[in-house]
Structure 1
Amino acid sequence: MKATGVVVEYNPFHYGHAYHVRQAKTLTSSDVAIAVMSGSFLQRGEPAIVSKWARTKMALQNGVDIVCELPYIYAVQKAETFANGAVAILDALKCRSLFFGSEDGDIEAFERTAHAWHEKKEEIDFFTKEKVKEGFSYPAAAAAAFQEVIDPKHLLDLSRPNNILGFHYVKAILERSPHMEPFTSRRIASGYHDEELPENQKIASATSIRKALKVHGTFEQVTAYLPQATLKQLQDYHSSYGLLHTQEAYFSFLKQVFHTMDTAELAGIYEIEEGIEHRMQKAISHASSYEEYLSLLKTKRYTWTRLQRMNTQLLMRMKKTAMHELLKERKAPYIRLLGMSKKGQQYLSLVKKELDVPLVSKLSAFSHPALDLDIRASRVFSLPIKEPMQTNLTEAEFKTSPIRYDEETGLFQSL
């Protein structure tokens, strides 16, 4: 059996994602699609709208065959670290290809750019650091450095979010998994950051869907843009836990962290650099909402996304020393299996003996400092939920076995 990998968040799973899964299998001629999915918190530093388990069910009901969790140490990170972690897991699972959507849609452009980066790495790193010193954000500095060092005529536009991620996937493959083949197709319809639901089409951005849910507080406005399985999972989660997760729900907990840590402790948190902890303390004392706090904090140098990640690391009390130690290892520390279809289970049975990374289906059978962080992230994620449902959700981290989905009956069961 042949497997292709996709790197996802499914926040929530929509028709664009369903198209992406179909394209992944078709264009790579693969039997199964393996999704490496962020867990409780996402690459841009936001909480997932619902739990990993609910999003796993959405994925399995819409064509994904295996869902594994992208560990926290990779998930809430800049694009390069995020991509390296995802590729490491897909490589460990013996994927022959990785498929991603992009604004460019031409895999040769990604490969040219990755090779150019590899040849001119030292110069690009030097100019990137210089641009950061001038006050550029890191993504803007990296894009400017490329234009400084390499003729951009035949290279990627690295100002676009999916192009940036795709470039780092291809670069990671070039560096660590040359036997894995990258594929891409152009994103269709709504752009990644589109905030308004489109008219006369079913594919909307996840951003616009989340915004509509937040603004209207009902599911009516988004029904046309979501597969029935996704809509049911969202409704069931809201009914069970009384909310869909937003950053605003964590603002009081973030304030509590500030109130219980001194400046020196803040400076030791991962991603907090260059004395920004002083600016953070001042901003939090004047803000009455998360959005107002970030607005007071934002500068040209620090993007909204970087600030969001910084504050998630703070909520997690993630120390620099601990994160740097965990990121030293190039190989994935483990593969956390969240769910699979019948076909996915067949694939795992075939490759299981070849795996050189532990496949984790029960937390009681495996321990690792990075896995401890995944558990901590789930506990922090549950904080806005009222008891006793908060405890129920955190216990699910230990009690829930990988979900098995039967495509023929449409039923779920735990192994």
Structure 2
Amino acid sequence: MNAAGIIVEYNPFHNGHLYHINETKRLSNADVIIAVMSGSFLQRGEPAVIDKWTRTKMALQHGVDVVVELPYAFSTQKAATFSAGAIDILHHLKCQSFCFGSENGQIEPFLRSVERLAEKNEQLTALVRLFMKEGMSYPSAQTKARDAIFQKDPLPLDLSKPNNILGFHYVQANDTLGSPLMPLTVQRKGAGFHDVKASGSIASATAIRKRLFLTNEAIDDVMPSSAAAYLKNRTLHSWESYWPLLRYHLLSIHPEQLASIYEVEEGIGPRLIQAALKSDSFAAFMERVKTKRYTWTRLQRMMVHILTNTDKETMQQAERVSFIRLLGMTENGRAYIRSIKKDIPVPLLSRTASGSNLLALDIKAARIFASAPNFPKDYADSLFEQEYSAPPLLL
């Protein structure tokens, strides 16, 4: 069976995601679509708006055949690490191709850009380090270094666009593995990644979350009706839900202890603690700690690791994917998994009980995801139960 992979967060699932799935099927001619989906916390350092089980249902009802979880050790990382983990999983699951959305819409510029940047890797790395020592954030340093190196002969890919950036790292990760998968891309339609307004029937996930949390506008016009139904009268997650927990953690820990947390740099601890003392919301806290050196996204990822008490040593051990957590599948997906199961080189887990030593970070993240102080007890209890005992969803 021909399998194509996609890398998703579905935060939440919307019409643009449905378009991506359908175009992936068309371009790849795949019999099976496999989605690697982030779990409780996401790449931009925020909790998923709704739990991974509900997002899995959304995916399976709209054309995905297999949903597996991208582990915390990769899902909460910068683009290069996030992409490496996801592509590794798709490779382990014997996908012939993978497909991503991009502003560019053509695959050749991604391939050429990866090749040209590889040729200048040492020079690029040295410049990035130099610019970061001057106080630049990592993304700004990368941009300035690329501009300096390719000033006379620019790269064919615009790496200022968020989906192009992720796509570039997917192609780069695949290249590092020896290019086992055929890369495909679909041009992003309608609203941009960060647009807060809809473009026709397609809105960004950012715009949909704004409707859910701030404006209380209807979402039925920008989401499949069955996906929209899952969000109505449900407990929704945002950083504000976890602010009391994060604030308590910041105020109860010594600055030196903070330095052991992943992504927390030496010297920022006192600043975080002072901001927590003065802030009555997560948004106010972030405004106080944001600087030119620390982007909003980088700070949010830092806060996720503080919230989950994830230290540097633990994260640095997760160099490669060492297990695959199966969240759900259709009958077609189950037939595919059966056909390849013996050839998957890492454990394929259907429950945490079957490999809890490998899942410590994900289990901890799921516990905290369910533990916001304002969540109804029955809702939190159901999430705990699903994490420990629920088998993969079968559509």
TM range (shorter): over 0.9
Deviation at 1:211, TM superposition (A): 0.4
Partner of 1:337: 326
Give structure 1 stretches of 5+ with no counterpart: 406-415
Normalised by the size of structure 2, how large is the TM-score?
0.96
CA deviation profile, 1:156-189 (whole Å, cap 9, x unmatched): 2111111111111001000114121111121010
Question: 2-side partners of 1:197 and 1:154: how far apart?
Answer: 31
Q: Aligned AA for 1:381?
A: F
Give 1:270's match in structure 2, choosing from 246, 262, 266: 262
1:24 counterpart = 2:24: yes
Taking a change above 3 Å as real, the CA distance of residues 129 and 211 of structure 1, as seen in their structure-2 partners, is: same
Question: 1-side partners of 2:169 and 2:81: how far apart?
Answer: 9
Give 1:387's match in structure 2, choosing from 372, 377, 385: 377
Q: Aligned AA for 2:23?
A: Q
Partner of 2:363: 375
Question: 2-side partners of 1:259 and 1:394: how far apart?
Answer: 27
Q: Aligned AA for 1:44?
A: R
Contact 2:190-2:198 within 8 A present in 1 as well:
no
Q: Identity across aligned pairs (percent)?
A: 45
Question: 2-side partners of 1:392 and 1:184: how far apart?
Answer: 38
Moved more, 277-286 or 90-99: 277-286
What SS does the aligned partner of 1:326 have? coil
Moved more, 294-303 or 392-401: 392-401
What SS does the aligned partner of 2:40 have? coil
Contact 2:201-2:222 within 8 A present in 1 as well:
yes
What SS does the aligned partner of 2:232 have? helix
Give 1:348's match in structure 2, choosing from 337, 343, 363: 337
Taking a change above 3 Å as real, the CA distance of residues 154 and 356 of structure 1, as seen in their structure-2 partners, is: same
1:38 counterpart = 2:27: no
Partner of 1:401: 391
Partner of 2:76: 76
Question: 2-side partners of 1:160 and 1:348: how far apart?
Answer: 35
Matches within 5 A, 1:103-182: 103-150=103-150, 151-182=152-183
Aligned residues: 392
CA deviation profile, 1:239-292 (whole Å, cap 9, x unmatched): xxxx21011111010011012211111111000014111211111111111001
CA deviation profile, 1:86-107 (whole Å, cap 9, x unmatched): 0110000001111000111121
Deviation at 1:216, TM superposition (A): 3.4
Partner of 1:49: 49
Moved more, 60-69 or 354-363: 354-363
Question: 2-side partners of 1:216 and 1:193: how far apart?
Answer: 17
Q: Aligned AA for 1:389?
A: Y
Question: 1-side partners of 2:145 and 2:186: how far apart?
Answer: 26
Question: 2-side partners of 1:143 and 1:91: how far apart?
Answer: 30
Partner of 2:245: 253
CA deviation profile, 1:118-174 (whole Å, cap 9, x unmatched): 111111111111111222221121122112223553432111111111111001000
What SS does the aligned partner of 1:153 have? coil
1:226 counterpart = 2:227: no
1:366 counterpart = 2:375: no
Deviation at 1:109, TM superposition (A): 0.8
CA deviation profile, 1:45-99 (whole Å, cap 9, x unmatched): 1100110000000000000110000000000000000000001100000011110
1:306 counterpart = 2:298: yes
Runs of 4+ in 1 over 2 A off after TM superposition: 150-155
Q: Aligned AA for 1:196?
A: K
Give structure 2 stretches of 5+ with no counterpart: none
Deviation at 1:29, TM superposition (A): 1.5
Q: Aligned AA for 2:366?
A: S
Q: Aligned AA for 2:364?
A: R
Contact 2:251-2:273 within 8 A present in 1 as well:
no
Contact 2:15-2:202 within 8 A present in 1 as well:
yes
Deviation at 1:392, TM superposition (A): 2.2
Normalised by the size of structure 1, how large is the TM-score?
0.92
Question: 1-side partners of 2:173 and 2:167: how far apart?
Answer: 10
Contact 1:140-1:159 within 8 A present in 2 as well:
no
RMSD: 1.3
What SS does the aligned partner of 1:356 have? coil
Partner of 1:408: none
Question: 1-side partners of 2:349 and 2:191: how far apart?
Answer: 36
